[in-house]
Amino acid sequence: MHVATQPPTMTVDAYLAWEPSQEVRYEFVNGDVVAMTGGTLPHNDIAINVLTALRPQVRAQGCRINIADAKVNVTPSIYRYPDLVMSCDERDKTAVTAIQYPKLIVEVLPPGTEHLDRGDKFREYRLLPSLQEYVLISSTQINVEIYRRGEGRLWLYTAYQAGDTVTLASVDVTCPIALFYENVLSLE
């Protein structure tokens, strides 16, 4: 998703009251309001493909899975919109404002903001004790990278390429990488 900085700063309470009535989604980072602008069609197709691949198994586990318009409350002063978020925590099953205890977060990487997903967002998401996997999916080439929580502050890295089978250990899902890229014309 492309990001454009929005000038106004505000408190968390003001943001939470103001943002739902906006036509554009806004992330909130330590008082700064950041507009989320539209992504590409391949970006959208990949997010839908991941949702489609995971949803049956995730629902069978009693978990909640959301895409695009689901906010994650990372810290008391940070709210982000990942491309896909999954939570199995009972407290998130009836959440209305934001997911607070994600188990899995997926970001589809557009070329323009890849550094944000790899940098600031990953640093922030690592603060969530419930997060077990952070998945980065390229929108320009067949490439999936997964960071899995290890012991302490250790995160284990695994990369997948064309022809590989992707394993999402946090949700006990294994599927061909091709499912994530199905019908994404620019990658065929």
CATH assignment of the domain containing 101: 3.90.1570.10
pTM summary value: 0.92
**In angstroms, rounded to a whole number, what is the distance separating the alpha carbons of residues 6 and 36?**
9
Residue 23 lies in a domain: no
Residue 6 lies in a domain: no
Contacts of 134 (CB under 8 A, 6+ apart): 104, 105, 107, 122, 125, 126, 146, 147, 155
Measured over the CA atoms of residue 108, residue 46, residue 24 and residue 22, the dihedral's sign is negative
Range of the domain at 69: 39-187
Residue 14 lies in a domain: no
Q: Lowest-pLDDT range, 35-39, 65-69, 176-180?
A: 35-39
DSSP state letters, the chain: -EEEEEEEE--HHHHHHHGGG-SSEEEEETTEEEEEEP--HHHHHHHHHHHHHHHHHHHHTT-EEEESS--EEEETTEEE--SEEEE--GGGTT-SS-B-S-SEEEEEE-TTTHHHHHTHHHHHHTT-TT--EEEEEESSSSEEEEEEE-STT-EEEEEEETT-EEEEGGGTEEEEHHHHTTT-GGG-
C-alpha pair distances (Å), 117 with each of 10, 56, 78: 23, 27, 14
- pLDDT (0 to 100) of residue 7: 52
Q: What angle do CA 50, 53, 55 make, to 5 degrees?
A: 95
Residue 129 lies in a domain: yes
pLDDT tens digits along 64-98: 999 988 999 999 999 999 999 999 999 999 999 99
pLDDT tens digits along 93-148: 999 999 999 999 999 998 778 889 999 999 999 999 999 999 999 999 999 999 99
Exposed / middle / buried, residue 107 (Cβ in 10 Å: 0-12, 13-18, 19+): buried
Domain count, the chain: 1
Residue 13 lies in a domain: no
Mean pLDDT of 167-181: 95
- pLDDT (0 to 100) of residue 75: 97
Residue 21 lies in a domain: no
Residue 70 lies in a domain: yes
Mean pLDDT of 151-177: 95
Residue 15 lies in a domain: no
